[in-house]
Amino acid sequence: MTRNEPEPQPHTHPHAHGHSHGHGPAAPVSRHLRKVIAAVLIPFALAVGVGLIALWPGGAPPHKPTGVGFDQETQSARVVQLTKVDCADVNAQQQQQMEQQQPPTGPGGGAQQQAQRCEQATIEVTTGKDTGHRFKTVVTPDASRRYTEGQDVVVAYAPKAPRDLQYSVTDVDRTFPMWVLAAVFALAVVVVGRLRGVLALVALAASFAVLTVFILPAILQGSNPLLVAVVGGSAIMLIALYMCHGLTARTSVAVLGTLASLLLIGLLGSVFIGWAQLTGNTDDQTGLVHSLYPGIEIRGLLLAGIIIGSLGVLDDVTVTQTAAVWELRDADPTASRRQIYGAAMRIGRDHIASVVNTLVLAYAGAALPLLLLFSIARSGVGTVAGSEMVAEEIIRTLVGSIGLVVSVPLTTLLAVLVVSADRGSRSGPQEEDGRAAGPGPGQPGSRRGGRGRRRKR
């Protein structure tokens, strides 16, 4: 029996290994690999910090509101009264004139036309220097938005207009339902994700802080949008990944894969935006921004949008692929580099198919009204696709998708190189002298079985 006592040793090591790595963060890699990873990431993080300091805007530049679009002073208000009035009495005759051009149909058509009435809403300003001021607005029968008494609305203030016309309703106040939805989202993330969910919400808040405090004001101050997007996007990447997944070698590999893919997206975007001669000035909002801040490079703003838009999906792909490689390595410590890479790429190919489809549908959903307009246009598909408004979305989608596709094999390769180079230190529990115990006797690749038996004795 004494000769057979060491036999349970091989079963003890894999069980301890699977328990220590299969239900928590990956085991730390060797000191040598940590130094290699740090040698790459520490200079990168320092460069991002220097970039943040050098480009720090110190707030958005001041300007006088033009009163156009979103560039106008707004206040909160409330609908205090609704009354039915004759449209002609309140000079809202346009709807009636349009209806009079069409002959009434049916025996009661004329009566129905005369019976149509407008609504007159009394609005009370609830914030600002004119709190308590009331004005009236007319809602015609064909208006898409209707009001109810007690409803909160947003009003625009035009100081140069006559007193009775200084305020006008621009939108409804959606603050409460938006906060309720945000609370439901946060609750779902915390309930399902627990501590990781809390960290994800903190990282999300930090990402929005970088976007609103650094990226947007820096662009408005006239800094190069591409440089701002690279620095700000890198800061978001470092904060989000390390905060959500920990300061580990696994996370560092995901950071490297994301960084390399972002550089590729920036390069491809720059090349094809210039080659396709896209100006980036394709909508009213962009034109308004350019008119208010002529120093902004609109084409660079387009490229910055492509980089930032791809960042979130890239994080998902690189983290998933890195985690897959680590788990495959933990499941079979004796697997070769080629075996781990092949298995991880099979996972990655499924991920590519779903993520690319998600990205394309996300851009298509955002541009759905535009696509509807072009679908009824009397132009060929090539003409429609070549127009700047559509070509901008196509290039945005394809460039981002290429970066996502390339990130899978690139990140997988980096992760395989790290875990395979660290094979010796992660094959089993750490010994007191710092050397890792190898596979037990009878397992493939065992070269330390004898030493295990000597320890047992």
Q: How confident is the model over 129-149, as pLDDT tens digits? A: 889 899 888 888 887 788 888
Lowest mean pLDDT among 21-25, 152-156, 189-193, 282-286: 21-25
Confidence of residue 183 (pLDDT cuts 50, 70, 90): very high
**Among 317, 341, 221, residue whose Cα is nearest residue 262:** 317
Tell me how far apart the alpha carbons of residues 329 and 350 are, in angstroms, rounded to a whole number: 20
- pLDDT for the residue numbered 95: 43
Confidence of residue 6 (pLDDT cuts 50, 70, 90): very low
Tell me how far apart the alpha carbons of residues 219 and 302 are, in angstroms, rounded to a whole number: 12
Evaluate whether 321 touches 412 at the Cβ level (below 8 Å): yes
- pLDDT for the residue numbered 181: 96
Lowest mean pLDDT among 84-93, 165-174, 207-216, 320-329: 84-93
Lowest mean pLDDT among 70-74, 406-410, 447-451: 447-451
- pLDDT for the residue numbered 441: 42
Evaluate whether 314 touches 262 at the Cβ level (below 8 Å): yes
> What pLDDT, in 10s, does the model give residues 302-341?
888 888 888 878 888 899 899 999 889 888 888 888 999 9
> What pLDDT, in 10s, does the model give residues 376-420?
766 666 666 667 777 887 888 888 889 889 999 999 999 898 887
Determine the average pLDDT of the residues in 44-71.
Answer: 78
> What count of Cα atoms within 13 Å lies in the side-chain half-sphere of residue 251?
15
Which backbone phi and psi does 418 adopt, to 5 degrees? -70, -50
Q: Which residue has the tokens 């049916």?
A: 106
Lowest mean pLDDT among 51-55, 299-303, 318-322: 299-303
**CA 348 and chain centroid, separation:** 21
Q: Which long-range contacts (C-beta less than 8 Å, at least 24 apart) are formed by 344-351?
A: 344/412, 344/415, 344/416, 345/408, 345/409, 345/412, 347/320, 347/321, 348/317, 348/321, 348/324, 348/408, 348/409, 348/412, 349/408, 351/317, 351/320, 351/321, 351/408
Lowest mean pLDDT among 69-78, 366-375, 381-390, 446-455: 446-455
Determine the average pLDDT of the residues in 106-129.
Answer: 70
For 55, 299, 303, 309, the CA distances from 262, given in Å and listed in that order, are 20, 18, 12, 11
pTM metric for this prediction: 0.67
Confidence of residue 79 (pLDDT cuts 50, 70, 90): very high
Query: What tokens does 377 get?
Result: 């246009």
